[in-house]
A and B are shown apart, each in its own frame.
Chain A
Amino acid sequence: MAAQSKTAEPRTVAAPDQTPVRKGLRAVTGSVLAKRIGFYLVAGWAAITLNFLLPRLMPGDPASAVLLKMSELGPVSPQREAVIHRLFGGANSGPLWGQYVAYLGGLFRGDFGLSIAFYPTPVTEVVRSGFWWTVILVGTATVISFGIGTTLGVIAGWRPGRRFDSVASPLSIFIHSVPYFWIALIFVFVFAFKFGWLPLAGGAGRDVVPGFTAEFIGSAVQHAILPAATIVVTSISGWLIHMRNMMASVVNEDYVLLAQAKGLAPARVISGYAARNAILPSISGFAVSIGMVVGGSLLTEMVFNYPGLGSLLNQAILNLDYPLMQGLFLVISMTVLVINFIADSVYVLLDPRTREVS
């Protein structure tokens, strides 16, 4: 994606002595930002359009499949039939252009039809309920594992080959090679089944009424610990190895040696010079995995029967719930784009070399 091109070598620019530096810089930063916003708008439009086209290009007729399922569940009113045609096309839904306009209109009203699997709950409501479960669980776990893994990687890579590195790095590579579901099953067996310290499955206790109450939040946190721990344990190692390798190469840079020559405290050399530069490539990687939070938690949510987007996607597929799938895909692709845009902007802030217009 766009984030990758910026790890390229800095270009040397001979700037004339007398340019009004700060003003110029701000203008450059502004135009880079404008370009980037443009890129993401186009990407967002492409994702929406693809979502519109896919069911229409699919073999068979999703619209009639959906209508058939709906009629099995109850009588289908003409309005509901119209919604299905707007979303998926089908035999009597008019020219493509008209369908596209109607589709976009529905999208902006937030109307994605009714879910089949949870008939007759609207897709928007189903997606919204899963969204927060997933974002809070997987998002928190991803942030924690990035934080811990990167910090440990900094320590290991600062003095490669020393004691910490020679324990942490091989161990990480080992953990990295263990399949996720293995670790998840061991965790479930030990902590939930054998000792019963933590609940086996679900997002919160069945008898707890959802709401902003201490009881519900407590129950949700208790249910989240085990799945979050499996995510953290399995993904720390990846961050650790990545950061360790970047760090081990950055510590050989002259600017790190010069920072030491200046007599700075080691903590300052690491934070301001070594890790500060070594973390740059991790930012794009972090964006990718944060973006995948929404769609990539399928395995965790299935193992723990967690009521998030991953479980919803699973159910949508099992029930051929096209409206729900469409809604989920849209949410997933939009989240990826938004997160990537944020990461890109953070990257520009962290690396002044990317503020140049090429």
Chain B
Amino acid sequence: MIKETPSPVLLDVGELTVEYGSGEDAVRAVDGVSFQLRRGEILGVAGESGSGKSTLMTAVTRLQRPPARIASGSVTYHPGGSGSGIDLLASTPAELRELRWESLAVVFQSAMAALNPVMRLGAQFVDAIRAHRRVGRKEAWSRAEELLDLVGIPTNRVRSYPHELSGGMRQRATIALALACEPEIIVMDEPTTAVDVVMQRQIVHRLMRLRRQFGFAIVFVTHDLSLLVELADRIMVMYAGRIVELGSASAIYRDPRHPYSQGLRDSFPPLHGPLRELRGIPGSPPDLRALPTGCAFQPRCPKRLPECASTRPELPLLVEHGAACLLQRSADQATVDESEAVSR
């Protein structure tokens, strides 16, 4: 899964901070998050609910709504992975409209809520297609049928209303909708959380096939780490609005370096391979208004060190696989000591 020459960067997010409200009672739901999305890759974003995944995704796509507010940071889109970048945070609404769906599409968690209940399924495709392409109505409708066919929905469903479809069909329809203008990037916020496990696997497999066919990049958000391992090239793990671990999917699954990632991995059954004993993470997600000092995970951490309460660990930059954890630093230190001992 690790590519020899990394693909060019499509989306570059730098030190993004998003707050709810402003002034004294501002809640910082995303805190200095940086990551890159490469062309054609599937980047998984994992974390318990409340860790700021959706807030991050709506901010990256400029879909955040009040009281959410981007406090600082940058989001740069490089069309086709080119050197020139478009500063999404500085773009005007009209400039954004040009990019939307044409380059950047989204899939939401609840397809029932994301589809207009009073509009035929096909019309919701036609709307998107005709906003960006100069095609006739008839052509747009047959394009909608094609798209439904891609995700295994009978084409006669194009004239159905959302409530007439099953949950799995609706979810697949929103994925088909995201493909309408063949975007480069699709941001999916928990697209499989609302469907059952069988449908979940079907959707994941179909997504992988479509990715091979069309070559788009996906940011796939979920709280289910074992699902991500099946799907993603790289995974980033979020806790309390920060990235606590970033690395290749296999490395994070085999060798999670942050105790939180370990806990997350062990709280979902793997889709393949031997069953592990399932353990939840003790305690509950932190109150963002009153974060613990030092490492935010420290009160729940089974491997807590005394200095965890005072020192906030940073995510190491420019490494294949890194975790924001003090243990990690002492582990690195230990490796260094060992090699020094050997060399002596």
Contacts and interface: CB of A to CB of B under 8 A. Distances in A.
Interface of A: 10-15, 17-18, 20-22, 25, 161, 252-255, 257-266, 268, 272-273, 276-277, 280, 350-353, 356
A265 B97 contact: yes
A254 B110 contact: yes
Contacts of B28: none
Contacts of B128: 262-264
A12 B112 contact: yes
Interface of B: 61, 63, 65-66, 93, 96-102, 105-106, 108, 110, 112-119, 127-128, 131-132, 154, 156-157, 159-161, 163-167, 169, 174
Nearest to A261: B106
B163 A353 contact: yes
Nearest to B103: A263
Contacts of A356: 163
B119 A21 contact: no
Contacts of B165: 15
B156 A21 contact: yes
A277 B118 contact: yes
B167 A12 contact: yes
Contacts of B156: 20-22
B114 to A, nearest CB: 4
Contacts of A18: 154
Contact of B117 (A265, A266, A277): A277
B102 A10 contact: no
7 contacts: A257-B65, A257-B108, A258-B174, A260-B63, A261-B63, A277-B118, A352-B163
Nearest to B168: A14
A351 B118 contact: yes
A264 B94 CA distance: 10
Given A262-B127, A352-B163, A272 B116 contact: yes
A350 B100 contact: no
A109 to B, nearest CB: 45
A10 B132 contact: no
A253 B114 CA distance: 8
User: Among the interface residues A254, A255, A260, which one has the most CB atoms of the partner chain B within 10 A?
Assistant: A255
A113 B85 CA distance: 84
Contact of B163 (A13, A161, A252, A254): A13
A42 B24 CA distance: 62
A11 B163 contact: yes
B154 to A, nearest CB: 6
Contacts of A257: 63, 65, 108, 114
A350 B100 CA distance: 29
B102 A263 contact: yes
